[in-house]
Structure 1
Amino acid sequence: MTIDPDDPARAVEAVLFAAEEPLTLEMIRAHVGEGADVRAALDRLAEQYAGRGIEIVQRGDRWYFQTAGDLAHLLRRDREEARRLSRAAIETLAIIAYHEPVTRAEIESIRGVQISKGTLDVLMEAGWARPAGRRETPGRPLTYTTTPEFLTHFGLASRRDLPGIDDLRAAGLLDPIDLAMAEMAIGEDSEEAVANASEQD
C-alpha cells in the first residue's frame, strides 16, 4: 500500500494526536496549511476510526481523539494525584542514588540537617527508595537504596547512567546554590562508587 506523504488526512491525524486540547478547524488548518481541506479530512478520519478503540469526535466546534465510549470502563482506575517532591526529598533521593546503600545518619551528614521520617516515607511510597538491610556497625542502622522503579522513572539503564556534576552543569540544571548542594550529594568519589556498585549488581 502506497501512502501519500502529502495526504491531508494523515497530517490532520498527526496534529490531533499530538494536541493537548481539542482543536477547531482553524487551529488544525494553522498546522497543516491553508490549502488543505481539513473538514473533508476530519470526516474521512471519523469514518475510518468509527467502531475502533479510539475515535475522532466533534464537540461544539472542536475536534479530538477520545476512547470509545463503550470502553471507558476499562480505563477507570483509582489514581492518586502525583505529589510534588519537596526540596528535602529531592536532595535525599539524590544522596541515596549516588551513595547507596546509605543510612539516615549518613544522609543527614551530607545534607547538614536532620531529615524527617516523612521524607523517606514519601520516597518509599513513590517506589523510588527502599530499605536495604542493616549496616554491621553499632546500632545496626537501616540502609536505603534506590529501586528499579527509580531507574525506570528517570530513564536510566543502570546507576552508571546517573549524571555527574559536569553533565548537570552542561545541561543548565544547576544554579550556584544548587551546585553546592549537588557537589555534596554526589561527592567526589561517587562516580567510582556508582561504577563499582553497578559491576556488582
Structure 2
Amino acid sequence: MAESARRRGGNRPDDRRSADQLFDRELDHLPPEARWREWMHRVEATIFAASEPVDREMLARIVGKSCSIDLLIDDIREELRGRPYDLVSVAGGWKHLTRPAYADAIRAAVGGSGKTADLTQSEVLVLMCIGYFQPITRAELSSFFGKEISRDFIGHLRGAGLIASGPRSPTPGAPYTYVTTKEFLLEFGLDTLRDLPDFEALEDAGLLSKEKLLAGDIMPDFSSHHYNAEVEIED
C-alpha cells in the first residue's frame, strides 16, 4: 500500500508545487482595499517575527504579483508614524527598530542588550576606512593613518562581527584583506555601503573630530590595544 501511495504521488515536485499553491497570494476574492490591507498585515507580521532583516524576495512570497512592496512598506510606515518604533530599511531588507528617542528609556528598563558594540572613536574611524576602501589590508590601514594598527585591534573588530577576512591581496606576500559584514550594516543602521556617511556627518554626530585627526591625536592607541579576541587573526 505504501509503495502504491508513493507511485500515485508521494513527494513529487508537482505535489510540492500544489502544496505551495494552497497559500493564496493574490487574494482575488477580496475587494481591492481589503486585499491591500491583508498584504500589509502579512508583511508587517513577517518582519515583526523575523530576527534578521527581511528582504524583498521573501516578502514577494506572501503578496500578489501585482503588489508594489515599496508602496506597501510606505503605507505601513505611515501607520507607524506615531509609534515608538518604525520599519527601517537596513542590511538589504526591512526590520522593526525602536526610535532613537526611546533608547535611554529602553536601557533604563532592560539594560544593554549586549548586541550593540561599544566602539571608540579610533574603532569608528577604522571601520569607516574599511567600509570605504574594502578590501583593504592591515598594512594599508596602517599606512593610511600613519600609525600601526595592531593585530589585536583588528581582532577586536572581528570578534565583534563587524569585519571579516576578504580575498588575498595581489601585493607581494598575498596578505589578507578585510571587509565589513552584514553586522556592520546593522550596527550603524545602513541599508547598503552606499549609505555610509561622510566625515561631516560623523562630526555632527560627535563620533569624529577632523581637527584631532589632522593633529594626529585621535588614534594614539592603535598598536597598544590588548583585547582578548577569541578569533584567529591573519596578517
TM-score for both structures, normalised by structure 2? 0.40
More contact order relative to length (CA 8 Å, sep ≥ 6)? 2
Structure 1 or 2: more helix by fraction: 1
User: Which structure has the larger Rg?
Assistant: 1
